[in-house]
Copies of this chain bind each other. A is one copy, B any other.
Amino acid sequence: MFPAEVYIQRRKRLRELVGKGVILFLGNKEVAMNYAANNYPFRQDSSFLYYFGLDMPGLAGMIDCEIGGETLYGSDPTLEDIIWVGKQESLHEKALKAGISLVKPLERLDGDVFRVIAHNRKVHYLPPYREQRRLQLAYYDNLKYEEVDKNASEELIRAVVDQRSEKDSHELKEMEETMTQVTREAYAAAMKRIMPGSYEYQVAGTLEGVALEKHCRMAYPIICTVNGQILHNHYYGNELKKGQLLLIDAGAESNMRYATDITRTYPVGGKFNHQQKEIYSVVLNAQQEAIKAIKPGKPYMEIHQLAAKTIATGLKELGLMKGDIDDAVAHGAHALFFPHGLGHMLGLDVHDMEDVGENYIGYDEEFKRSEQFGTAYLRMARRLKENFVLTVEPGIYFIDALIEKWHSEGRYRDFIDYRNISKYKGFGGIRIEDNVVVTAKGSRVLGKPIAKDITELEQLLKA
Name the distance in Å between A449's Cβ and chain B's nearest Cβ.
Answer: 25
Closest 7 CB pairs of A and B: A209-B209, A205-B213, A205-B212, A35-B355, A86-B230, A201-B215, A131-B131
Q: Which residues of A contact B (CB under 8 A)?
A: 31-41, 43, 45-46, 79, 82-86, 129-132, 135, 199, 201-202, 204-206, 208-215, 220-221, 227, 230-233, 235-237, 348-351, 354-355, 399, 401-402, 405
Query: Quick one: copies of this chain in the complex?
Result: 2
Let me know if B401 and A79 touch, CB within 8 A.
Answer: yes
Let me know if A206 and B209 touch, CB within 8 A.
Answer: yes
Let me know if A85 and B232 touch, CB within 8 A.
Answer: yes
Q: How far is B38's CA from A355's CA once the two chains are assembled, in angstroms?
A: 10
Let me know if A233 and B351 touch, CB within 8 A.
Answer: no
Instruction: Return the contact of A43 from the options B33, B201, B220 (Cβ within 8 A).
Output: B33
**Which residues of chain B come closer than 8 Å to A41, judged between CB atoms?**
40, 221
Let me know if A43 and B39 touch, CB within 8 A.
Answer: no
**Which residues of chain B come closer than 8 Å to A213, judged between CB atoms?**
201-202, 205-206, 209
Let me know if A232 and B79 touch, CB within 8 A.
Answer: no
Most buried by B among A213, A232, A237: A213
**Which residues of chain B come closer than 8 Å to A351, judged between CB atoms?**
35, 37-38
List 16 interface pairs A-B (beta carbons < 8 Å), by A numbering: A31-B40, A32-B129, A35-B351, A36-B354, A36-B355, A38-B349, A40-B43, A83-B402, A84-B231, A85-B230, A201-B212, A201-B213, A205-B213, A206-B213, A208-B212, A215-B237
**Which residues of chain B come closer than 8 Å to A131, judged between CB atoms?**
130-132, 135
Most buried by B among A34, A79, A130, A349: A34
Name the distance in Å between A193's Cβ and chain B's nearest Cβ.
Answer: 8
Instruction: Return the contact of A354 from the options B35, B46, B236 (Cβ within 8 A).
Output: B35
Let me know if B34 and A401 touch, CB within 8 A.
Answer: no
Let me know if B214 and A205 touch, CB within 8 A.
Answer: yes
Name the distance in Å between A82's Cβ and chain B's nearest Cβ.
Answer: 5
Q: How far is B216's CA from A209's CA once the two chains are assembled, in angstroms?
A: 12
Name the distance in Å between A225's Cβ and chain B's nearest Cβ.
Answer: 9
Let me know if B405 and A349 touch, CB within 8 A.
Answer: no
- When C-beta atoms are compared, the residue in chain B nearest to A199 turns out to be B215
**Which residues of chain B come closer than 8 Å to A86, judged between CB atoms?**
227, 230, 233, 235
Q: How far is B37's CA from A227's CA once the two chains are assembled, in angstroms?
A: 21
Q: How far is B41's CA from A43's CA once the two chains are assembled, in angstroms?
A: 13
**Which residues of chain B come closer than 8 Å to A35, judged between CB atoms?**
129, 349, 351, 354-355
Name the distance in Å between A66's Cβ and chain B's nearest Cβ.
Answer: 30
**Which residues of chain B come closer than 8 Å to A405, judged between CB atoms?**
79, 83
Other than the given A32-B130, A79-B401, A131-B132, 14 more pairs (CB < 8 A) read: A33-B43, A34-B46, A35-B355, A37-B354, A38-B220, A38-B221, A41-B221, A83-B399, A85-B232, A86-B235, A201-B213, A202-B213, A205-B212, A209-B212
Q: How far is B130's CA from A352's CA once the two chains are assembled, in angstroms?
A: 26
